[in-house]
Structure formats: C-alpha cells, structure tokens
Amino acid sequence: MDQTLLSLPLQAIPKPQNIQFKNFVMTRLWTLTVLETRLLVDLWEPLSVGNRSQNALKLAINSVLCVLDRSGLNSNGQKLKFYRSLSVCLFAVWTYKYGVIDACEVTRLCSRQDMSQSQPLVSKRISIAWPPLVPHHENTDTLVLTGASYFIDVRILHNKDAEGRDVLDWGIAGIKEKLGDEQGNSKAKWSHILNSRKAIDPSNGKPIGNAEDLADVGSMTVLDNGDVLETGSMFNPEQGRVMEYEEVWRDLDVPAGSPVCIVENEWTDEIAEKTFIGRIGKWQLGLSAKVVRNKEGITSQTRYSGWRDEQESSGKWNRIYEFGQSEHRPSRLPDKLEELSWKESEVVQWEGQNWMVRELFWT
C-alpha cells in the first residue's frame, strides 16, 4: 500500500477540475481505510474490555478484512461503496469499545455491510418450474431490481386481459438478506414490505400475514452459461399450496457509473397508498398498494398498480408496461439524481409526499 499518499505536499494534489482529482481522492480514501483497519488489528489485545463478548468485535474486524482480501476492487464506484461499508464496521468497533452500543448492535451493523449484497443487480427471469409437476417454462415478463439490500420484483403475465390491458402476476418489494453459503451455493431471504398477493393493513400500510407468509428463502447456484438457478419453496397460486420451485435468472449488464435509487413513501391515512419506486441504470420499476374504502370508511380491498420503464441511449424513457390505476403514484424517478439534494436514509419531499430514500449511490 502506497503510504506516501498520506503525506503529499499541497502542490502535489490535483486541482478539482483535473480529471485525476477523483482518482486521487478515491485512492487516498482507500489507503486510509486499509491502514486504519490494519492498525485496528494490531491493537486487538488492547481493545479487550472486561468480560464483554469479543465475538462481536471479531465479526466486525473479520467483516473488514474479508473485504480487503477480495479482488477486483478496481473502479472508483466499487472503492466508494467498500469504503462506506468499512467505515460502518470501524465505527461499530470503536463505539462498542467505549460502551455506546452493545454486541448485538455491532453484529447487526456489520452483517448489513456484507459485500456480496452491495452489488446492484438487474435480473430477468428466464424460466420457472414446479418439479416434478410442472417443467421449466416462462409465462411472465419478470424483472427484479436489487440494490444493496432493497429490491423490487414485478412479474407481468404474457397474456393480456380481454380489454388488452397488462395483468400483474405478482409484485413484491422489500429487503433482501444474504443468509450465508451452503455447499458452495449462496442462500438469501426476501422479506416483503409489499406483496400483491396480500391485503394491506389500513392502520400502517403493511401487508397482512405472519413472517413466514411475507418472506421467501432461496438457494442460488451459478450455471455454466452464467445464469443463476434459484431453488426453494414458495406458494404456488395455481395449486393453492406451498411447493418446491426452480427459477432461472439472467443478470443484465449495469455499466459503471449507473445510478441506483430506491425510495419508499411514508404511509398516511389520507393517501392510504404504499409505493416503492426504484431505478438501476436504464431500468425503472414502480409498485403501489392502495387501500380502497367504502362510503362508510371501511376497508373493502387492496388494489395494486405499477409500471416498468426503460431508457434509450438518447435518454428517452419508454413505458414497457403499466397495470392498475393510482392517483398518487409518481410516473418515474427524476432523471438527474445527482443534481438533487437527496441523501440515503433521509426523508425528502417529492411529488407532494414524503419519501424515505432507502438507497442512493452510483455503481
């Protein structure tokens, strides 16, 4: 590691308008992070405090070191994301040392920084099977946007309804969590904040159901052609029961420097609609659940709506499909996200509503 970067004279620093400036800043941040981490490991013994469990500290440091040992960290975007995750881990270690947070909080913070979850994905489903009853086939247009941890998954049937309108097969949005590796295969859990197969609780905008109903778990295996085979168990609406399934996914190319943004609106009784909107590169997805009340103000049903857009190289957005109706759902995220004052994990005012910026970064 080039430690001379830490003591460069002022005149050696490129000017902001210089194309080398960003490279210089990112390299220096990366160098500082690595050196700070190595120093932390060297000071491991002095960090021991009383009878506190050291497992949390070890998890934090190991989380950092496993990142440093990974290869392919060549782009500025990768280094920026890794630097942010490393900073969270280091912060957890030091605040734990001084008694600000407990071991459980360290574990939660550091586990969320798993680098395998920080790479955004745009995934298209190639096929689904319910072995041995139903062989591999594809009757939907399915696209999933997955950020560092949040996802939006919308599946539209190939066959339109009698009036020529797009029909939703399944729409879900929520949080993806890596559960670990088993026999060389990665395992993940998708917890649903929106689920078009569930009604919405009008008191809080959350889907009605127990934890098992509102999550699914799958194991992923990379196939020889680069596609991913996902296996697990989930509800089969055609059979009316939980069954083992297989899905084949293909990850689409997300160029370096692509924006990643996922927002969730705040639930209010007045609007009574929960919405997720996401963008990764040239793809955007929107999914909304609207609580419909009768004249007496009693909830009668939940209606889902949404859309998918794709951007041409010219910058023009094209609507690929749209289903349902919404009075409050915005059409799409703003084009130039970098010109907004939005920040990740903050609430912003947009289109007359409060929105939580769940994720906002560039690849």
What are 141-187's pLDDT values in tens digits? Answer: 999 999 988 999 999 999 999 999 999 999 999 998 888 766 667 88
Q: Edge-to-edge, what's the strand order for the sheet holding 259-265?
A: 317-323, 299-311, 283-293, 273-280, 259-265, 353-362, 347-350
Q: Quick check: 189 pLDDT over 60?
A: yes
Position 199 scores a pLDDT of 67
Q: Record the tokens describing residue 138, joined without a space.
A: 């594809």
CA dist 71 and 99 (Å) reads 34
- Per the model's pLDDT, the better-predicted residue between 236 and 71 turns out to be 236
Position 40 scores a pLDDT of 47
Q: Quick check: 14 pLDDT over 90?
A: no
Mean pLDDT of 295-306: 74
Kindly give the interhelix angle for 55-68 and 103-111, rounded to the nearest 10 degrees. Answer: 20
Mean pLDDT of 7-18: 41
Torsion over CA: 199, 203, 205, 210 (sign): negative
Mean pLDDT of 338-356: 90
Q: Using pLDDT thresholds of 50, 70 and 90, give the confidence band for residue 219.
A: very high
CA dist 230 and 153 (Å) reads 15
- pTM of the model as a whole: 0.68
Q: Record the tokens describing residue 44, joined without a space.
A: 């491991």
Strand segments (E) across the chain: 121-130, 134-137, 140-146, 150-157, 168-182, 185-195, 215-222, 228-236, 241-251, 259-265, 273-280, 283-293, 299-311, 317-323, 347-350, 353-362
- Whether residue 186 contacts residue 150, with contact meaning beta carbons closer than 8 Å, is answered with no
- Per the model's pLDDT, the better-predicted residue between 295 and 261 turns out to be 261
Position 202 scores a pLDDT of 64
Q: Quick check: 5 pLDDT over 50?
A: no
Q: Quick check: 73 pLDDT over 70?
A: no
Q: Using pLDDT thresholds of 50, 70 and 90, give the confidence band for residue 205.
A: low
Position 159 scores a pLDDT of 93
**Rg of the chain (C-alpha set):** 23
Q: Record the tokens describing residue 353, joined without a space.
A: 């509503």
Q: Which residues contact 282 (CB under 8 A, 6 or more apart)?
A: 258, 310, 311, 312
Task: Say which residue the tokens 């059409």 belong to.
Answer: 331
- Whether residue 230 contacts residue 218, with contact meaning beta carbons closer than 8 Å, is answered with yes
CA dist 87 and 103 (Å) reads 17
Position 267 scores a pLDDT of 81
- Whether residue 98 contacts residue 124, with contact meaning beta carbons closer than 8 Å, is answered with no
Q: Quick check: 244 pLDDT over 80?
A: yes
Query: Average pLDDT of the chain?
Result: 74
Percent of the chain residues past pLDDT 90, beyond the cut: 35
Position 237 scores a pLDDT of 81
- Per the model's pLDDT, the better-predicted residue between 113 and 323 turns out to be 323
Q: Using pLDDT thresholds of 50, 70 and 90, give the confidence band for residue 22.
A: very low
Q: Using pLDDT thresholds of 50, 70 and 90, give the confidence band for residue 299.
A: low
Q: Quick check: 227 pLDDT over 70?
A: yes
CA dist 180 and 166 (Å) reads 37
